[in-house]
Structure 1
């Protein structure tokens, strides 16, 4: 692994953050800076925490800590998407919720892998 870009969880979180950004722009104007801003920030925070953790990978506990932050941001994003899905009819939101559910499992599994098997170089 030469870069955080080699991590599946990073690539998926980056892709989904772009999809969330585009979908959030379909919210009513009064929600663009409330619910829209919150869901955009939480979705982007997932990838950012993965990157920061990877940058600290030499220190296993720091790596784990930022992966946990990424997972927490994912849960926040999922809760925001759930609220948007209840309030508005935006076609992509249901699909995004399913994708984030799967990504949450991948991040959780990666955290377990790092905790048990990661060898700092």
Structure 2
């Protein structure tokens, strides 16, 4: 795996930002536009994914980055849960649900893979 110089170069950050932008656009239309509570919660969960990647990356050490990647992955679960609720309550359509759900699953999988890679790297470093 190559060394990244900026968090903006990470695929998982790009996916997370894409999700957050989609959610902001979604929240600008009804019925979410006037559902202040859910609109705020789903925006926060969506933004938290990329926020945690950015913050963790900037600490410039793998243990902190791993911790923040776990927070980001947790936020993805929170986001997916809210997405499911909105879909089942008929507040978003199936196409929107499927798109955002798929992006969130991709995000979680790639984030988990990066966490595993960094943990392995750190374990190997300790052996030396």
TM-score calculated relative to the size of structure 1: 0.88
Consecutive unaligned residues of structure 1, counting only runs of 5 or more, are none
Matched, 1:104 2:114: no
Q: Which ranges of structure 2 fall in alignment gaps of 5 or more residues? A: none
Per chain length, whose mean CA-contact separation is higher, i.e. which structure has more relative contact order (CA < 8 Å, sep 6+)? 1
Which residue in the other structure is 1:82 paired with?
84
> Superposition RMSD on alpha carbons, in Å?
1.5
Q: Is the 8 A contact 1:20 1:39 kept in 2?
A: yes
Deviations 1:22-69 (A, max 9, x none): 1123342541x11111000000000000001101132x2211110000
Q: Which structure's CA Rg is the greater one?
A: 2
Match of 1:37 in 2: 40
More off after superposition, 49-58 vs 20-29: 20-29
- Give every structure 1 segment of 4 or more consecutive aligned residues whose post-TM-superposition deviation is greater than 4 Å: none
Q: How many residues align?
A: 117
Match runs of 1:48-87 below 5 Å: 48-58=51-61, 60-87=62-89
**Does the Cα contact within 8 Å between 1:23 and 1:93 map onto a contact in 2?**
no
TM, length-normalised to structure 2: 0.84
1:4 matches 2:4: no
Q: CA deviation at 1:20?
A: 1.2
